[in-house]
């Protein structure tokens, strides 16, 4: 395009200079007393406004002055000769020639300008990425080596040969926690597995052993024997200061597709979901519209700095695919659980040792609290003297104690009770306020760990 522009411009200049040179030659040649040209007015030089070259301007000025002086003398002493008519015609021809050449040169110049202006509006696709795109690409490249692919293998016996085979029954994601080979994922990803395999970002696969798990919070820790140079722990952030609208990134292996990135924002905070294993509520869950599909479970949710802020756990979708509402367990909750699992292989979470009625049943009674259905005598609540719901000899239902507060914190439903207990420790004595019949009592209870964790 630039070569064509330069050629056209040089061609236009050449036309103009050639025309001016021809005009100068013919003007000088015909400027004699015998053939006087058509004279201009004394105050106007021919084509004085044209962009002539310096040499041509001096030559034309000298020739015009000579012609003008000779022409005045000639006209004062002689009457018009027949040849003067031919000279006037020739002058008109020369003027017309100059006008024609100048017009051609200007037309070519305008054409070149128009072509160049049109070319300015032709948008050339840029291969450069914007600043936010570069940040996203860098975040994915930096954190992908920390994300792993987990395959859940279950032992199945063939009905005909009776051979025991390992059949993949599910898959999910996880991430490297430390250089010791600890991998963090969801408990429901590894539930029911006879063997587990972890595939790193470089496609190397290792057999994994279960270090421990917390069914109530849907968190599990695995361990692989991999070289330290292949393990890149994910940077851990903070989830306490998250804001709705904050940009987040989810990396995982949805539908078995290797290392997929989805983006979105935090669309809600302090949500509550139920554990897939025990049904116990998980509080303070992060809600995001970043696409989370089957296979994303156990993968990391990152902030714009590339720090871990949650574990992708569940989606809300009738069809089983992403509908724009996903949930992640906050990293502040996960961190304490992982530390206990790595150190002790279990989580010592305190319990009251009761079974309570569904919240809807208590609402129908017109009271607020948690109705105790069963308090085993060997459990913390049974030892403290809490009463269970039972029937008398006539089959009439006698309601047990209704827990209304713990340590002065109001208990309206089962979620409130779990939330308060999560803030307590094993061996701690709590004051449980109960509604027994038509009066209120406060009963001290010593919290104990779950029976299968002691």
Residues annotated as catalytic are 188, 218, 297
Separation between Cα atoms, residue 207 and residue 383, nearest integer Å: 45
Separation between Cα atoms, residue 263 and residue 288, nearest integer Å: 9
State the virtual CA torsion across 292, 295, 298, 299 in degrees, nearest 10. Answer: -60
Task: Sort strands 402-406 and 397-398 into parallel, antiparallel or unpaired.
Answer: unpaired
Tokens 């509908």 appear where? 323
Helix axes 82-120, 2-29, angle to 10 degrees: 170
Give 43-49 contacts, CB < 8 A, sequence gap 24+: 46/95, 47/95, 47/98
Residues 385/443, Cβ–Cβ less than 8 Å: yes
Neighbours of 374 (CB within 10 A): 17
Separation between Cα atoms, residue 286 and residue 240, nearest integer Å: 11
Per-position DSSP letters for 21-74, written without gaps between them: HHHHHHHHHT-BTTBPPPPPPTT--TTTTS---HHHHHHHHHHHHHHHHHHHHH
Q: How far is CA 416 from the centre of its chain?
A: 35
Residues 390/374, Cβ–Cβ less than 8 Å: no
Two tokens at 323? 């509908």
Q: Which residues pair with 247 in a beta bridge?
A: 265
Residue 175: which of 61, 307, 42 has the closest Cα?
Answer: 307
Q: Report CA torsion sign: 394, 395, 396, 397.
A: positive
Two tokens at 289? 């519209």
Measured between its terminal Cα atoms, the distance across the chain in Å is 82
Neighbours of 373 (CB within 10 A): 16
Strands (E), 231-299: 247-252, 260-274, 281-288
DSSP state for residue 236 in the 8-state scheme: B
State the virtual CA torsion across 108, 110, 115, 119 in degrees, nearest 10. Answer: 150
């Amino acid at each position: 395009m630039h070569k064509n522009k330069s050629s056209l411009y040089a061609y236009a200049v050449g036309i103009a200079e050639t025309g001016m040179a021809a005009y100068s030659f013919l003007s000088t040649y015909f400027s004699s007393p015998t053939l006087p040209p058509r004279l201009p007015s004394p105050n106007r030089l021919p084509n004085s406004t044209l962009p002539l070259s310096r040499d041509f301007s001096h030559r034309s000025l000298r020739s015009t002055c000579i012609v003008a002086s000779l022409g005045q003398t000639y006209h004062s002493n002689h009457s018009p000769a027949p040849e003067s008519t031919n000279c006037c015609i020739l002058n008109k021809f020369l003027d017309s020639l100059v006008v024609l050449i100048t017009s051609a040169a200007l037309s070519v110049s305008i054409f070149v300008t128009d072509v160049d202006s049109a070319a300015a509006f032709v948008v050339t696709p840029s291969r450069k990425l914007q600043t936010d795109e570069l940040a996203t690409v860098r975040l994915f490249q930096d954190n992908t080596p920390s994300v792993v692919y987990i395959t859940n293998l279950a032992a199945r016996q063939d009905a005909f040969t009776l051979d025991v085979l390992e059949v993949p029954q599910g898959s999910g994601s996880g991430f490297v926690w430390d250089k010791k080979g600890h991998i963090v994922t969801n408990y429901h990803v590894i539930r029911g597995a006879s063997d587990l395999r972890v595939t790193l970002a470089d496609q190397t696969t290792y057999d994994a052993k279960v270090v421990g798990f917390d069914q109530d919070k849907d968190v599990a820790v695995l361990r692989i024997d991999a070289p330290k140079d292949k393990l890149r722990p994910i940077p851990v952030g903070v989830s306490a200061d998250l804001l709705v609208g904050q940009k987040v990134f989810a990396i995982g292996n949805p539908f078995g597709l290797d290392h997929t990135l989805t983006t979105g924002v935090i669309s809600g905070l302090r949500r509550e979901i139920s554990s897939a294993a025990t049904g116990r509520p998980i509080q303070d869950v992060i809600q995001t519209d970043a696409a989370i599909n089957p296979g994303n479970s156990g993968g990391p949710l990152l902030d714009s700095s590339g720090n871990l802020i949650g574990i992708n756990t569940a989606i809300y979708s009738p069809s089983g695919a992403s509908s724009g509402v996903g949930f992640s367990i906050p990293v502040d909750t996960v961190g304490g659980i992982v530390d206990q699992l790595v150190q002790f292989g279990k989580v010592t979470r305190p319990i009251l040792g009761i079974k309570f009625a569904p919240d809807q049943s208590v609402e129908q009674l017109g009271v607020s609290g948690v109705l105790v259905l069963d308090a085993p005598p060997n459990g913390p609540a049974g030892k403290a003297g809490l009463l269970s719901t039972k029937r008398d000899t006539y089959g009439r239902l006698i309601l047990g104690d209704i827990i209304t507060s713990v340590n002065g914190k109001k208990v309206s439903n089962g979620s409130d009770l779990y939330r308060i207990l999560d803030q307590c420790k094993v061996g701690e004595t709590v004051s449980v306020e109960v509604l027994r019949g038509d009066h209120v009592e406060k009963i001290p209870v010593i919290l104990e760990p779950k029976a299968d964790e002691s």
